[in-house]
Amino acid sequence: MDPVPSTPEPPPQAPPAPATSLAGRLLNVFAAPGDVFSQVRNAGVAHANWLWPAILLTLAGWISAALVFSQPAIRQQMTELADKSIDQQVEKGRIPSSQAEKGRPIAEKMAVTMALVAAVAGTPIVAFVTPFWWGLILWLGGKVLHGNIPFLKTVEVAGLANMVLVLDTVVRTLLILVTGNVFASPSLALAVKDFDPQNSLHGLCALVNVMVFWVLSVRSIGLASLGGASVGKAASWVFGVWIAYTGTLFGLGLAWRAIFMH
């Protein structure tokens, strides 16, 4: 009788990678977002993935507002902007000169206050809404790419991607402090001398922002990881949606100015 050949034993499987801590996930999203989002895909729902970035983004925004609006150069710039706005209203005949002079000191004082209030009040709204807004976009992207992604997972991915926005807030704050220009950002606007927020071309330059492209890329990687599609297709969806609604808002802004300012 011939001996029965023994079947080769399967190679020993590598043990599964241990789950990264929350801090690890928040940091690794900068360097290895694909790994982070793979873990998110395989793990259960973890609300900390979107909650903590939102909290950090809120805190960063408040600290940034406090630092920026305490600078004399920034306060000077804000009052000059308020003056310029009043002068344009007078030149167009919308308000009489005497009324403008009465309102000028109030407008100058209110310019900084209103900007600070907007920054303080707006930051938490943006921080807590964007994970759900972009979660919805990524979820719709999953549908488009023939995937089936739970909505909360896309929220987690969008929330983790917001860590790039935290970094963006820090970088933007430092740039404002260095340049003394409240419109400074890591974009082509840095190359513009005498940035004018009412100039369409200057506004377009501000949209070409390194950090915005980075966060869109991270969201694209997240969509690809969750939906099992290629990064290229996911990026097409993410960038396409961003261009569409940014372009729409930009166009609406131009139309508004054309109708009401001229």
Residue from 21, 42, 70, 97 that binds other proteins (CB under 8 A)? 97
Choice between 179 and 236, CB closer to other proteins: 179
Residue from 116, 152, 170, 188 that binds other proteins (CB under 8 A)? 170
Is residue 177 at the binding interface for other proteins, with CB under 8 A as the rule?
A: yes
Choice between 49 and 64, CB closer to other proteins: 64
Size of the site for other proteins (CB under 8 A): 32
Using CA atoms of 173, 68, 118, 251 in order, give the dihedral in degrees to the nearest 10: -50
Segment interacting with other proteins, rule: CB under 8 A, options 23-31, 123-131, 223-231, 233-241 = 23-31
Alpha helices in 145-188 (DSSP H): 151-179
Residue from 107, 120, 171, 190 that binds other proteins (CB under 8 A)? 171
How many Cα neighbours within 13 Å face the side chain of 156? 24
Is residue 196 at the binding interface for other proteins, with CB under 8 A as the rule?
A: no
Is residue 120 at the binding interface for other proteins, with CB under 8 A as the rule?
A: no
* 222 token code pair: 């997240």
* 236 token code pair: 């097409």
Is residue 191 at the binding interface for other proteins, with CB under 8 A as the rule?
A: no
CA 223 → CA 139, 215, 226, distances in Å?
Answer: 8, 12, 5
Min dist CB 169 to other proteins, Å, is 12
Choice between 75 and 233, CB closer to other proteins: 75
Segment interacting with other proteins, rule: CB under 8 A, options 42-50, 89-97, 126-134, 146-154 = 89-97
Q: With beta carbons less than 8 A apart as the criterion, state whether 179 and 46 touch.
A: no
Say how far apart CA 58 and CA 70 lie, in whole Å.
Answer: 18
Q: With beta carbons less than 8 A apart as the criterion, state whether 231 and 237 touch.
A: no
Residue 187 phi, psi (nearest 5): -145, -175
Determine how many CB atoms are found less than 10 A away from the CB of residue 106. Answer: 10
- Amino acid, single-letter form, for residue 38: S
Q: Which residues bind other proteins (CB under 8 A)?
A: 27-28, 30-32, 35, 71-73, 75-77, 80, 83-84, 86-88, 90-91, 97, 100, 104, 167, 170-171, 174-175, 177-180
